[in-house]
Amino acid sequence: MNNNHLQKRMSILSWNVHDITDKILGHKTTSEEFCQVLKQGLIFCLQETKTEVQLPEYLCFNKLRPKSRSGGLCIGVHRSISHNVQRVPCEHEDILAVSIPSSVTRLAKDVILINVYDSPPNSSYKCKQAVAGENVNVIDQLINFTAELENRAIILSGDFNARTGELNTEIIHDPSENFGPRAHQSRPSYINTRVSKDAILNERGRKLLEMLESCNLSILNGSTIGDVTGELTSYQYNGASVVDYIATSPDVLDNVDNFR
């Protein structure tokens, strides 16, 4: 994203760190190599931190699950651009958001950066929630949350554990329709505008696409310069997939010059 104020790109890094504390090495922020990766972005969004993250050069916003050591989110904003960056209240434990003023982004409106971690459906955390009758749908909560963000540009980032194949949403560029759930639409208008090395579409992926559709957000993975091959984002013992995404509203999308 171009930023004339900084005379450099406003880069955003999103990363599932699978616990910020290593059993052998300790807190990963004590590793220079780890910190150098984080410092590639003026802003970083971390998922599955499990405990708080702090870096001196960054203003860090953390959110942890109160009843579990799983999950955990952090958004770090470099202190050179952190003036007037504020947390946006959100009750859901797996959604963290901050407001970045237009003076930083040079867009016409403030940007709400949303960081999300949605545990796999078969994870112990989700199973415990189901047994306790507390299985609140993260994607439904995202719809409710974004519905309150009137006249704001949106960047949505995170690990959704959702597979969307090569589908994307068809966003509306008319400024009068740039925001808000499009409940009047009778059916989703998914389009094959993405390339992806993961061709699988699962049920959670469909729900994510429906959420993006309703909020007029478009996936950058596999549809933006820098990721023309739709690279995989998750490598597990049982295979690789695309489950981590960044999606934006039209006003942000028009200012993205690279994604990788």
Q: State the average pLDDT over residues 207-224.
A: 95
Q: Which residues pair with 63 in a beta bridge?
A: 73
At 174 the pLDDT is 61
130 burial level (CB within 10 Å; 0-12, 13-18, 19+): exposed
C-beta pairs of 32-38 under 8 Å, 24+ apart in sequence: 37/13, 38/13, 38/76
At 191 the pLDDT is 63
Residue 4 has pLDDT above 50, yes or no: no
Q: Which of 98, 64, 62 shows the shortest CA–CA distance to 81? A: 98
Q: 56 φ, ψ to 5°?
A: -55, -35
pTM: 0.91
Q: State the average pLDDT over residues 155-182.
A: 79
Residue 186 has pLDDT above 60, yes or no: no
User: Rounded to the nearest 10 degrees, how much is the dihedral formed by the CA atoms of 258, 150, 95, 91?
Assistant: 170
Q: How far apart are CA 76 and CA 113, in angstroms?
A: 11
Q: Which residues pair with 2 in a beta bridge?
A: none
